[in-house]
Amino acid sequence: MSTSGIDRQVRTCVVYGIAAAACALFGAVYEAFSHGVWSYFMVYAFAWPLVLGMLPFGVMALRKRAMPGRLVLNLWHSGVAALTVGCVMEGVLEIYGTTNRLTALYWIVGAGMLAAGGLRGMHAPD
């Protein structure tokens, strides 16, 4: 594999690391001003970009695996983003003391995009 492919994976890892740190910082600041109310959704929102973004792309870079095609990457990145935003929204609503049944769409759409990206990446070249 070429060095540019590894560079792309490392850059993707760094971007996901920055996203995870931003989620952790946002959660900490939001909860600092929430008068002692906190939410597991807000606390662990950083885990989606860390586990589903930084980890797989880091492993691909270490093993010198080729990057998936553009469609697979777009589906995967969108799925991780949907799950992360859904977690933050669920946390905001929980801290506020309310619920909304529409937040279930984040989980459904995010999981669907991850599944579609994963299946597309395993079975068909892009």
Q: What is the pLDDT of residues 7-66, one digit of tens each?
A: 899 999 999 999 999 999 999 999 899 888 999 999 999 999 999 999 999 999 899 888
Return the residue matching tokens 């920055």. 18
**pLDDT for 78:** 97
3: pLDDT confidence band, cut at 50, 70 and 90? low
What is the mean pLDDT of the segment spanning 84-101? 93
70: pLDDT confidence band, cut at 50, 70 and 90? very high
**pLDDT for 126:** 43
Q: In whole angstroms, how far apart are CA 56 and each of 18, 28, 40, 96, 108?
A: 15, 26, 24, 34, 21
Residue length, the chain? 126
